[in-house]
Every structure is written in C-alpha cells, then in structure tokens.
Amino acid sequence: METLFLGSCDTGKLPSDRKKFLSPYHKDGLTASAVSFRDDDRTTWRSFREGNTNDVTELQQFLFKAGFMPRGVIDGIFDYVTQAAARLFQEYIRTMDPEGDKTMVPDGIVGNGTMQHVQRWKNQGKVADWGKSSSANPTKEYRDWINLLNEAKAHYKASPGPIMKAVNALSKTYSTIKVNDWNFSTDEIHLIGIRRKHDTKAAAKRANDDIFVLLVNGMVFKFWGSTDPSRAMVQVANPPSLVEGQHKYRFGWHKISEDKKIYRALKPYVSAGVIILRDLDKDNALTPNDLTIKGSNSLEVNNSINIHWSGVGISNWSAGCQVIAGKNYINNQNKLVDCSKFSSSAYSELNTSSKKTKGAYNVLADLIVCYSKPGVDHVLYTLGREESLNLDANFGSNYAINALRKMNPGAI
C-alpha cells in the first residue's frame, strides 16, 4: 500500500467543496481561507490527494473498531480526526502494547511499519484499553476528580473570593463561565489547570511549574507547563493572566497570522475571548491587589488566550496563554511516558525532513479530538489553584507537587 497521511483520499472520495469540508476546523486567521489541511508538525499544507484504493476507509474502520476513533466518520478522507487517531494508535503501540515498538514515532504518517501493527491487531482482534474505557465505567481517579470539581463549585459559589466575585458581577463573560453555570458532566471532556505560586513574586521569566489534568473517556492523563505569563515573553510590564474558573474552548489554531508557524491549539469558544486580569501593580504576580488598581475596569476580555504547545518545557512560551510541555506526560495508568527522543524543542525542528513532533502536547490534543462525543465541538477548561485540592481528602495540594516532581523535577 502507499503511505497514508493528512489529505490522502480513496478513489472517488475527494470532496466537491474543499473549503466547506474544512470549515468546521478552519475558522482562524490564515486557515479560514485555506483549501488544504494544515500538517502542523511539518509546518506545511497538505492538499487533498486521491489514491487508487480504499486504504483510507479500511484504516478508519480499523481505528474505529480498535477504539481509537469512536467519533470518527468513515468517509475515505484522511482528515484531522483520522490523523489524531492514527497518532494515538502509534503512541499506544509505543507505550502500551507488549508486542509494540518502543522506537515508533507517533507522527500520523501511516506506512509499512504502522500497517504491520494494524494487521497484527486485526489478526488478534485487539481493542485498546483507551477504547474500552468510558465515562460510564470510569477509573477511581476519574470519579474522584469529578467529585472534587463539584465540591469546588459548591465552595466557590459560597466563597468566591474577590476576583471570582468580580467576574460574577460582569454582565458578559463570553467564553468564561460564571461559577453558578460551571458544568462537570461526564459527557464533557474536562481539562484542568492547576496554578501554583501565581501570587508569589517571581523573576521576569516564570517557570513551567504548573500541571494540567485531562479527564477523557473515564480516564485521567496529566501534563505540565504554565498557566501564568512570562513577562519576558509578552514584553509588557502588565501581562494578562486568565482568571480562575471554568472556560469554554474549541479546536483552533495558534500563530494564525504566521504561515510558517501555524499549529493546532484550543481557542476561546466565543471569538471575543475569555476574562483576564492584568498584573496592574507590575510585581509579576497575580493577586487581588491587581483588581483594585482600576476598580471594576481591571477585568478585561481577551481573544488571544489560547491553550497551546510550549516546546519541551525548557522555556515558558506564555504571553498569557495556557502552555503545555511536550517532553513527557503521565498516562492513564499513572506511568510516566517519555517523549523526549522525538519531541521538538522549537519551531525550527518542525519541518518536512524532521521526525520531530510536539510530543506530549499532541497526545493531549489528539485525545480531545478523538474521544469527544459526537456533536461536541468544545472542551471545558477549569483553572484552579493547588490549595483547592485540599477540598477533597483524596487529593490534597501535594497531588500537584508529586505529579510535577514526576514529570519535571527541576521545577520544585
């Protein structure tokens, strides 16, 4: 078979209106007028390319049956969902399959090496544990997280604190959700940011010392990075910080005005953005004092606070965004997974001749794309602080520290 990748199509499967086909995913900047797929790990555009077989359909059928593409449409077009599912399969072969290949690079390019494992799985009738899991049959850790989130909602409804109280008083909050409307349904995919030391003065370059928890399909995955801006990155004295609470995000793109840098990210669901508070007292920390500088006008709506990749985690590439390192992650079995051999440290290593990828960040983004329920086009992002983990005896603030020590020991 020929190698399959983003844009590959079976015989007769080319869409008649390519722009319309891509429109659910291409809403931002330069992508809005594109008629090709964006292969962001290769910083290139992939045109729809018709082959002479039904290989894409057969691959999609396999990915569906094996549990990697439960929401995918089997249409013979290698789209973003198919790419995400192929990468998850390759990651599973690399890290979870006893007969797998620890050297496999999860790049979404399906050649003979990947197809050998596809055929083996077909012969063995294998189904991934990730596919067997579900929100109806979740792990204990997943249940504990849903309980904690609901406890946090009750707590902050009763005691919102000055910043959250100011958010609740706004007439419009756009993609930010007021505490009364926080939604922790297991039908949703939840991403949780745990902010650490944000109210402690720091050097201009804040560290990647926060963690992110993904609740998906009854499972828990953990990542790391930063929820706070690096003043050196944003290059202003009063950088914006996303307010704590719940926010609605969607599939989108980062660096949407730079053709050589466009890559997948989560963007505020409402185009106006999310609610932020700037470091108005310019102490490189987020405290209630920032709220008092301009009174009710201290809060702003900002449309550029995305959730995106942050290299391997050496530098904090946040100008206010929520940024996630690609070096490693903790999987649903609470095991550390190393991605450093193929994880790119910067844009310069993402190109057509490289086998580098965005590493752990791709795992997070692909899990969201593949395991969202049909018709769901968003993820709910809840940003809190490590002290809030003390609300539930199953956690405690050491939960965040212990996870960070496992993934990025230098940050503690």
| Cβ atoms 65, 52 nearer than 8 A | no
pLDDT for 7 beyond 60 = yes
Q: How many other C-beta atoms can be found within 10 angstroms of the C-beta atom of residue 20?
A: 10
Q: How far apart are CA 129 and CA 339, in angstroms?
A: 20
Which residue, among 252, 268, 299, has the nearest Cα to 175 in the 3D structure?
Answer: 268
pLDDT tens digits for range 121-142 = 999 999 999 988 888 899 999 9
pLDDT for 99 beyond 90 = yes
pLDDT tens digits for range 226-244 = 999 887 777 788 889 999 9
- Apex CA 269: angle with CA 226 and CA 275, to 5°? 60
pLDDT for 87 beyond 70 = yes
The gap from C-alpha 76 to its chain's centroid, in whole angstroms, comes to 26
> What are the angstrom distances between the C-alpha of 89 and each of 9, 204, 330, 386?
20, 40, 17, 33
Q: Is the dihedral of CA 262, 265, 270, 273 positive or negative?
A: negative
Question: What are the extents of the domains in the chain?
Answer: 8-132, 140-411
| Cβ atoms 212, 321 nearer than 8 A | no
pLDDT tens digits for range 338-349 = 999 999 999 889
For the ranges 99-113, 189-203, 347-361, the maximum mean pLDDT occurs at 99-113
Which residue, among 300, 307, 405, 371, has the nearest Cα to 138 in the 3D structure?
Answer: 371
| Cβ atoms 205, 231 nearer than 8 A | yes
Q: How far apart are CA 234 and CA 32, in angstroms?
A: 26
- Residue 204: what pLDDT? 55
Which residue, among 298, 306, 287, 268, has the nearest Cα to 169 in the 3D structure?
Answer: 298
Mean pLDDT of 292-319: 90
For the chain, give the mean pLDDT.
93
Q: How far apart are CA 236 and CA 231, in angstroms?
A: 6
- Residue 392: what pLDDT? 85
> What are the angstrom distances between the C-alpha of 403 and each of 19, 220, 312, 334, 399?
42, 12, 17, 9, 6
Tell me phi and psi for residue 151, to 5 degrees. Answer: -65, -40
Confidence band, pLDDT 50/70/90 cuts, at residue 293: confident
pLDDT for 200 beyond 90 = no
pLDDT tens digits for range 108-125 = 999 999 999 999 999 999
* Beta-sheet pairing, 176-177 with 299-302: unpaired
| Cβ atoms 305, 321 nearer than 8 A | yes
- Residue 72: what pLDDT? 78
Mean pLDDT of 169-186: 97
Residue 263: HSE in the Cβ half-sphere, 13 Å Cα cutoff: 20
Of 313 and 202, which is predicted with more confidence? Answer: 313
